[in-house]
């Protein structure tokens, strides 16, 4: 294990990442600085912080390429559209991917199967069978690794409970190619947001120190959120104001 992996693991522990926990990571790889072996070092640092009993999850969203005009999703080959580290993680040996055409996630660890294995049952992107929903029930954590608080897919799961007016678009019939080569079909209600800008960074004010911490991991400014606290606070904010986490675009 190289020194950078050890230092990254120590920084993550200092931020509050729990050993043997379940951690969902949103990331900016370049924010960590120059790493030996690039993204592999970042993944090793995260896995070292979690330990052998921990589970690492990353979003593998593909909504930019898989849509009504191109409704085909291949679990093994459809790329992620949310950055270099999730795309590397998706292809890493041992990683598994949930079956969802636009909002899949990948994972490694003992709870990866239970967190990801039922996502295909959902008829929305982040329903009750998605890892984003389950994270709140599993007392998981969400790490924002140098990317700020805006790219928060778990917020979609909270929004799906409230169904604010900006959330949904129409239904799309997708063709799915599974990991074993077989084919399946999924009919999913797509997210909308047309005319609205997401402002999930407002969760920092809403949580107000309850279940949120900030600090440095290597050269990256990071936030760590406790998923149950996020759910509790964000759900209450949306019940009071369904437009709290968006701004209307000019």
For the chain, what are the domain ranges? 3-248
Checking if the pLDDT of 1 tops 70, the result is no
* 34-51 per-position pLDDT tens digit: 999 899 999 999 999 999
* 185-194 per-position pLDDT tens digit: 999 999 999 9
Residue range 56-72: average pLDDT? 96
Q: Which residues sit opposite 177 in a β-bridge? A: 74, 183
* 99-141 per-position pLDDT tens digit: 999 999 999 999 999 999 999 999 999 999 999 999 998 899 9
Dihedrals φ, ψ of 69, to 5°?
-80, -20
Checking if the pLDDT of 244 tops 90, the result is yes
Please, which pLDDT band fits residue 76 given cuts at 50, 70 and 90? very high
Residues of the chain with pLDDT > 70, as a percent, come to 100
For residue 166, give Cα distances in angstroms to 79, 177, 194, 245, 246.
27, 30, 7, 11, 9
Checking if the pLDDT of 209 tops 90, the result is no
Q: What is the pTM of this model?
A: 0.95
Q: Where are the alpha helices (DSSP H) in the chain?
A: 3-15, 39-50, 84-91, 112-116, 131-137, 154-162, 203-207, 227-240
User: H-helix or E-strand containing 37?
Assistant: none
pLDDT of residue 122: 97
User: H-helix or E-strand containing 121?
Assistant: none
Residues of the chain with pLDDT > 90, as a percent, come to 96
pLDDT of residue 212: 97
Checking if the pLDDT of 250 tops 90, the result is no
Q: Between 150 and 209, whose confidence is greater?
A: 150
Q: Are the CB atoms for 55 and 107 separated by under 8 Å?
A: yes
pLDDT of residue 138: 87
Q: Which residues sit opposite 175 in a β-bridge? A: 72, 185
**Given strand 55-59, what is the order of strands in its sheet?**
96-97, 105-108, 55-59, 22-27, 141-145, 220-226, 212-217
Residue range 62-82: average pLDDT? 95
Please, which pLDDT band fits residue 2 given cuts at 50, 70 and 90? confident
What secondary structure letter does DSSP report for 109? S
Tally the C-alpha atoms within 13 A of residue 210's C-alpha that lie toward its C-beta.
Answer: 12
Task: Give the separation between CA 133 and CA 111, rounded to whole angstroms.
Answer: 14
């Amino acid at each position: 294990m190289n020194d950078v992996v050890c230092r990254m693991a120590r920084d993550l522990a200092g931020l509050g990442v729990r050993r043997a926990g379940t951690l969902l990571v949103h990331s900016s790889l370049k924010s960590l600085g120059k790493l030996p072996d690039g993204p592999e070092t970042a993944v090793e640092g995260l896995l070292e912080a979690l330990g052998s009993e921990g589970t690492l999850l990353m979003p593998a969203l593909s909504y930019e390429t898989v849509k009504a005009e191109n409704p085909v999703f291949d679990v093994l080959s459809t790329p992620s559209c949310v950055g270099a580290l999730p795309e590397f993680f998706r292809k890493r040996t041992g990683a598994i991917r949930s079956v969802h055409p636009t909002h899949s996630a990948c994972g490694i660890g003992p709870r990866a199967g239970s967190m990801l294995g039922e996502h295909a049952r959902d008829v929305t992107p982040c329903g009750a069978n998605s890892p984003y929903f389950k994270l709140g029930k599993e007392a998981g954590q969400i790490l924002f690794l140098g990317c700020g608080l805006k790219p928060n897919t778990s917020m979609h799961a909270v929004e799906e409970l409230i169904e604010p007016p900006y959330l949904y678009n129409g239904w799309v019939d997708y063709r799915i190619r599974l990991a074993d080569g077989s084919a399946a079909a999924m009919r999913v209600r797509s997210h909308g947001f047309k005319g609205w800008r997401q402002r999930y960074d407002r969760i920092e004010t809403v949580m107000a120190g309850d279940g949120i911490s900030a600090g440095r991991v290597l050269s990256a400014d990071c936030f760590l959120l406790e998923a149950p606290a996020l759910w509790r606070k964000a759900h209450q904010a949306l019940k009071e104001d369904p437009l709290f986490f968006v701004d209307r675009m000019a």
